[in-house]
Amino acid sequence: MDKPIGVMDSGVGGLTVAKEIMRQLPDERIIYFGDLKRCPYGDRPLKEVKEYTIEVADHLVRRGVKMIVVACNTATAAALDVLEERYDIPVIGVINPGARSAIQSSNNHDVIVLATQATVKSDAYRDAIHHINGSFRITSLACPKFVPIVEQLRYKDKVVVRVALHQTLKQLLDTSADTIILGCTHYPLLAGEIHDYFGGRKKVIDSGYETAREVSSIMTYGKTHAASGSKRNHLMIVNGDSTRFEYILRDWIPFIDYTIEEIDLEG
């Protein structure tokens, strides 16, 4: 089925998930929606995030996607259940794949979740992990400095990143947790520095890999994989100015052909 996969996020963070889908499924075409005008979602009330998420998902459905990947932890926590009931196509979030990966990776059942304030308040990761294994200890920490570093293109400034990491994570240095979930899709752009900050003693989980595997599994079951061999031009829809978005896109996924379309949604 040569319909595209819809991937949505509040900004550029979901590109970490889109990149993994492109790597694992090179024959698939992606329509990506970055809601930069209203980014970040993580500082907004969950009710407002739900409204924005439904609006963006409706836009992708009108574009004819065969599946929606909610590549934003805050949006997943706020609206995944609503989207699953709203559409007759598969809708996948990033929280359950990340939770399952952490359960598989942790040896001592002690996990740290780094996320936005809204995701932490939702307890979405705690609920997802305890639904599978209630013996896990979960420590959740909001990291409000991290998304602006990525969105403002400062993620390559080692000094800025190290200062922000230390100010945010120093309270966790002596914890026994052996696994860290990056509970925001912006955070993988800081993954190497986070890993190094803890001296390599904690495994860092990026849910993008597991999410792409789930996308593939669902399409295999439904027999909706695209035909092989075609060259794909991915469509990047940006609500707002696309300048920063395109810089990060070229830096993070330099190997793709794409078209950028700017739109203007209220909010």
9 is in an annotated binding site: yes
27 is in an annotated binding site: no
> How far is Cα 34 from Cα 8, in angstroms, rounded to an integer?
6
88 is in an annotated binding site: no
267 is in an annotated binding site: no
Report yes or no: 210 and 100 within 8 Å, Cβ to Cβ.
yes
- The secondary structure of 108-165 as a DSSP string is SSEEEEEE-HHHHHHTHHHHHHHHH-TT-EEEEEE-TTHHHHHHTT-TT-HHHHHHHH
Residues that are catalytic = 72, 184
41 is in an annotated binding site: yes
> How far is Cα 208 from Cα 109, in angstroms, rounded to an integer?
22
DSSP 4: P
> How far is Cα 20 from Cα 206, in angstroms, rounded to an integer?
10
Report yes or no: 17 and 220 within 8 Å, Cβ to Cβ.
no
106 is in an annotated binding site: no
For strands 179-183 and 137-142, give the pairing. unpaired
133 is in an annotated binding site: no
211 is in an annotated binding site: no
Exposed (0-12), middle (13-18) or buried (19+): which is 10, by Cβ within 10 Å? buried
Q: Which residues are annotated as a binding site?
A: 9-10, 41-42, 73-74, 185-186
Q: Which residues are annotated as a binding site for substrate?
A: 9-10, 41-42, 73-74, 185-186
